[in-house]
Amino acid sequence: MSGRGRWVALSVVVGCAGVATAVGWAAWPEDSPYRHSLVRYDGDHGEANRYVSLDDGAAQLSIGSPDDHRVVVQWRDPDGHGWTAPETVWTDRSNVLIDDTVRFGGGTVAIVETFTRDVHSEDDTDAVHATIVCRELTCTARGSTGSGSEPQVAPAGRTAYLGQDREAAYLWTPDRGIHRAPWSGHPGFDYHQVSPAEPVLAPDGSLRVVTSRPSRGHCTFELLASTPRTADLTSVARTTEPLRGRARSDCSSYNDTFSSDWLAVHPSDHRAPDFWFVRDGAAWSASDRDPSGLQLVDVDKGCCDTGIAGFIHWNDVAYGSPDGHQILVQSHLLGQETWSAPTRVAGAPAGYRCTWMDGHEVGDGYAVTMTCHSRKARNVWHGDAYAVAASPDLVHWEATFVTDVRDQPVVEDGVLRVGRTTWTPEGGFATS
């Protein structure tokens, strides 16, 4: 699943991993795979462990590298008491590991590892990629899966899109593993004639590809859709959108969806507005109405337009303030096809002017802070009062207003601190 143009670094829970290493493995039956301790790697000689929380209890997948050449995984059991033996799932002795991108859905973890020969080079043309997909204690891996370094995993975990080249898309399914799915019905990659966007994986396992043809003053966008778990594309809808001005455009776009029944299209040329392809039964059409349920806050002046934070434990949060006092929040949870209904929480009382909003991951929860001022604002980012809305699960929100604040909000060791007030997902608000 893709996000609204906001791919960000992996955001996962790490705090509870240390518990597993303190529990002896002797209590496990001899035939249990979870009779081992977690092996930790530091960032000085390799890549430090990253932890993906899975759907089953306290189960996790640890991904790390002891030497920047080997990629090693371990699985934690659903009770959180032990780990599998370390398993090397990829080795590149000629290149150095410099980055990874991880995506998750329904128990399936897709990983793209990036290696390079020269860690000091700022040119990424010599980058070498390896793709790994892990599910149910088993990982499969192969070298490059074409262009596009952002894997996508359907929420049910039964399909992953891993990249493309001119002849095929690279998919993963439980029965076939990582494989090439030859393109059928793809218009090609001549960007002077068409501008095919990066494919988007829908929740049902089908691909969506938007192509576009430029003409003076207009862009014609066409939606191609595949049958699930294939790259067999069929044209299902087309629309022509006007451009402001007479300058030519390549009419490229980037796209996203939470649903098999709609696709958001964001033209790269902002002279054309965003729109949506929407399915009603078997018929697709273009619409200027957002079916995702997101209610954008757009104020002409003052505070605060909508901000969106992606991959908060694989979920999304939107926050803003329609009047500079109340806080409006929405969440999108992995697997749901729309945003939640907006939640309004109390923010700043009358007499305060608010100028800025920010979001903070706090352990397993999330908090939004709104910077406010009792007097004339000298710094829009730093106030003497803060409205805070926080949620342990992105569903239930609580709020408070903190005055007489000298320092900016900070998150340390799973605790949000705003002046003398703290918040944790487990304990809520407290004042010292």
Higher pLDDT, 134 or 251: 134
Q: CA 293, 298, 303: angle at the middle one, nearest 5?
A: 125
Core vs surface per residue 327-347: b (16+ CB within 10 A) or e: bbbbbbbbbbbebbeebebeb
Looking at every residue in the chain, the average pLDDT score rounds to 90
Q: Report percent pLDDT > 90 for the chain.
A: 78
Instruction: Please write the tens of the pLDDT for every residue from 265-323.
Output: 999 988 888 999 999 999 999 999 999 999 999 988 789 999 999 999 899 999 999 99
Average pLDDT over residues 222-251: 91
H or E element: which one contains 19?
A: helix 17-21
Burial class (CB in 10 A: 0-12, 13-18, 19+), 73: buried
Rounded CA separation 310/277 (Å): 22
Whether pLDDT at 125 is above 80: no
The answer to whether residues 292 and 264 touch, using CB atoms and an 8 Å cutoff, is yes
Rounded CA separation 125/147 (Å): 12
Choose the weakest-confidence range: 65-74, 142-151, 201-210. Answer: 142-151
* CA distances to 19, 65, 122, 275 from 414, in Å: 16, 25, 34, 39
The answer to whether residues 206 and 261 touch, using CB atoms and an 8 Å cutoff, is no
Cβ within 8 Å of residue 246, ≥6 positions away: 216, 217
For the chain, counts of helices (H) and of strands (E): 1, 32
Which pLDDT score, from 0 to 100, does residue 244 have? 77
- What stretches of 108-217 adopt beta strand conformation (E)? 108-116, 128-135, 138-142, 152-153, 160-164, 168-173, 177-182, 200-201, 207-215
Instruction: Please write the tens of the pLDDT for every residue from 5-31.
Output: 333 333 333 333 333 333 344 456 778
Identity of residue 104: F
Which pLDDT score, from 0 to 100, does residue 27 have? 59
Q: pLDDT band at residue 149, thresholds of 50, 70 and 90?
A: low
